[in-house]
Structure 1
């Protein structure tokens, strides 16, 4: 795609390279420069994205929305209500890109055979070009890194069968080979990351290609072998049988949890139809992170999980356009709920910054409590095996009765938990105001004008302290009454 966009003449010298004249290695090297943007150059993706959007800036709204919101560089992914609507959108976009930018939109793939039949074989994806669409089974397709079974319209995983060496580099390669942008397999992947963390922290003296001690080999091999079970996990591409656009109410439920090892957050979409059947609940997005090496208490980890929850919510707001008031947040930590609903006490910096981040994306009234055993995010913090993932609460969601009864509760239901013993809460400071009585003679008054002689509060306090010490010493050495002395 990058070769479709010319480099301006004055910038071509930045893309110079040396090669033999006339591509003949017997001839001397000469200077060449690229006239088009090339792969491997950092600005190329941004230039291509800008050019793609520029080509449709005067197009219809739906075409602009398709290019602006549903393209990642040169790959587009969109869902339409009917095959006719999909074909119409693609044909119009194809024509506009060609007319305005000489860009060819092709390599189409779809789970609907009517859409595929609407385009010539040369316009279809490479693995669909030679198929008999009437009789052949549609193949597995890679879409933005995900394995998409077109025939069943489900996402699945394709794990690498190549055996990696048991070295630090090989371990990192296996972990990074699991591409899971939506977080379907977070509880499984975090188990591997925990093992990797333990191995790397115990082998700091080893080089990246040195063999790792056999002590860690057995648990690592068990986990790697379990990854093949991920190929049996299938997640429907559709959120629900209900139409997303026809749903009159859309709610997003975000669950958060933490342990000493990891934090996790997962979101589910609940769709309601007017006068229709029961609402549906579907997996939306999940994320998990390992805990830092030290210095984090469980309340701090629970608060970080809540921050991760609002970060997940921000992604969903941007991508699906769901308003903030349609989100509900759940945590099993009473301490975190006390932090979020507090209006009377102040926190130290760590807690204060994270509470501020959560308040910037949600209201305290959107947060409520959920029992640990009913919290799907708990699975991310203690991990599950690949064989258990399909039927786990992580993918299926919590019981529906939890979502119907946990409405926003009064803020008074979540007070601070033992604030007198919480090291994250600043101690209360009592301020006392003293007012001088004008009835007494003027010479018995200290006079606030004397405070002007001090440049700082500390020096004023120090001066008052010295004065009191002097009065106390004077009283011990004389028979004057203390009231007369003051």
Structure 2
């Protein structure tokens, strides 16, 4: 009796736990000789209990199928069309392989520091998100484990693929938020990966600059995942890809990319190379990016380099006033180091110190228009392709670009304050 109890499984929270191997498995009891109706499809799919979404690549196939059945306006007991019947019976038979899948129950967490790596992807039929834990032990060994996944079918109202990719990133932010809530006692570092450079470009903007659909979702995403945590991953290394397209059980069992994530997560040297060479390099001239930017906003992207202290400060602050005051105190400190005998002022910043810090930030933000700046400096006309040509810009005494239409200011400071936090600069179309 003792041997039987060790080899047998125990049902825990709807899953089957095998104490001897310490693994989890699934068991789906399907009826023999089923009728191929919408009612039967829903009945069979509901038997797959997968609270963590570990079977997402398989389950998403049935979600897509059920959406198709709904569009056909079939009654619950109507026979399915021949093509869908064949597909359903094939997938149903494949579910018999589910008990062969053995998932390790234990997710190692020996140290307080844990990395969460989230991946998102989308196809025309569905979008997905999956999260892995990564832990580097004291002896240098690395443990990677899948934590959870989610999928959603694409909405009936047709959307562009970049928008669906953005929905996948939004789904990832929700999934990471729920995982973070359960790991409050751990020191978490979050990395988010997407193979869509257009989405990464949208996330570099301030949400206020983007049209409603994209702007609302980027705002929600950035509340959970800061923009500096986003990285680009190639499609072949993106485990969320299979969850957006679908994968049968027999294929999923041995699909290591899904269960263990990309191989470079388990190699420290490869991981560091990937981390340093995975920033978004998408061109702002891409029409798919520009199509989601509000018409009254003109923006230039500034490439962020970790060597620039101003860029580091931008990644840590999103308040325009806080950025000005922080830089103001830094400039005061530098001045005092260079001139120790200078007269000490009060602890509060002076008007001139605030003005100097503001000018320094504006100069940094306008670095995205460096080519135009050099042409104006040499008294040469701007090219027809320049985004500033219609604003008749000139360079003022502080080496700032100004709008000839209203010389008092060329940059809307309130707009720039939000743009700075997005590592891009805004240029008012009205010059006010």
- Short-chain TM bin: 0.5 to 0.7
Deviates more, 1:167-176 or 1:397-406: 397-406
Separation in structure 2 between the aligned mates of residue 176 and residue 372 of structure 1, nearest angstrom? 31
Separation in structure 2 between the aligned mates of residue 420 and residue 297 of structure 1, nearest angstrom? 9
CA contact (8 A) 1:258 1:264 kept: yes
Separation in structure 2 between the aligned mates of residue 256 and residue 302 of structure 1, nearest angstrom? 7
CA contact (8 A) 1:342 1:416 kept: no
Identify the residue that residue 137 of structure 1 maps to in structure 2. 6
Separation in structure 2 between the aligned mates of residue 420 and residue 170 of structure 1, nearest angstrom? 42
Corresponding residue SS for 2:65: helix
Identify the residue that residue 427 of structure 1 maps to in structure 2. 295
- Aligned runs of 1:182-201 on 2, under 5 Å? 182-201=52-71
Write out per-residue CA displacement over residues 35-70 of structure 1, whole angstroms, 9 at most, x where no aligned residue: xxxxxxxxxxxxxxxxxxxxxxxxxxxxxxxxxxxx
Identify the residue that residue 225 of structure 2 maps to in structure 1. 362
Q: 1:326, CA displacement in angstroms?
A: 0.5
Separation in structure 1 between the aligned mates of residue 233 and residue 223 of structure 2, nearest angstrom? 22
Identify the residue that residue 253 of structure 2 maps to in structure 1. 390
Identify the residue that residue 235 of structure 1 maps to in structure 2. 103
Superposition CA RMSD, Å: 2.6
Corresponding residue SS for 2:87: helix
Separation in structure 2 between the aligned mates of residue 412 and residue 403 of structure 1, nearest angstrom? 17
TM-score calculated relative to the size of structure 2 = 0.64
RCO higher in structure (CA 8 A, sep ≥6)? 2
TM-score calculated relative to the size of structure 1 = 0.57
Q: 1:193, CA displacement in angstroms?
A: 1.8
Q: 1:212, CA displacement in angstroms?
A: 2.5
Q: 1:167, CA displacement in angstroms?
A: 1.4
The alignment status of 1:169 with 2:39, answered yes or no, reads: yes
Q: 1:405, CA displacement in angstroms?
A: 2.6
Q: Which runs of 5+ in 2 are unaligned?
A: 298-390, 392-402, 409-432
- Aligned runs of 1:62-81 on 2, under 5 Å? none
Q: Which runs of 5+ in 1 are unaligned?
A: 1-131, 437-486
**Which residue of 292, 300, 316 maps to 2:163?**
300
CA contact (8 A) 1:160 1:177 kept: yes
**Which residue of 277, 291, 298 maps to 2:154?**
291
Write out per-residue CA displacement over residues 294-325 of structure 1, whole angstroms, 9 at most, x where no aligned residue: 32110100000101111111111011226685
**Which residue of 243, 260, 281 maps to 2:124?**
260
| Equivalent pairs, count | 298
The alignment status of 1:332 with 2:225, answered yes or no, reads: no
Write out per-residue CA displacement over residues 91-148 of structure 1, whole angstroms, 9 at most, x where no aligned residue: xxxxxxxxxxxxxxxxxxxxxxxxxxxxxxxxxxxxxxxxx43674342121111121
Identify the residue that residue 406 of structure 1 maps to in structure 2. 274
Answer with 1 or 2: which has the greater Rg: 1
Q: 1:263, CA displacement in angstroms?
A: 0.6
CA contact (8 A) 1:257 1:265 kept: yes
Q: 1:197, CA displacement in angstroms?
A: 1.8
Write out per-residue CA displacement over residues 392-440 of structure 1, whole angstroms, 9 at most, x where no aligned residue: 111121112564333267978455352587321112456875589xxxx
Taking a change above 3 Å as real, the CA distance of residues 250 and 406 of structure 1, as seen in their structure-2 partners, is: same
Identify the residue that residue 381 of structure 2 maps to in structure 1. none
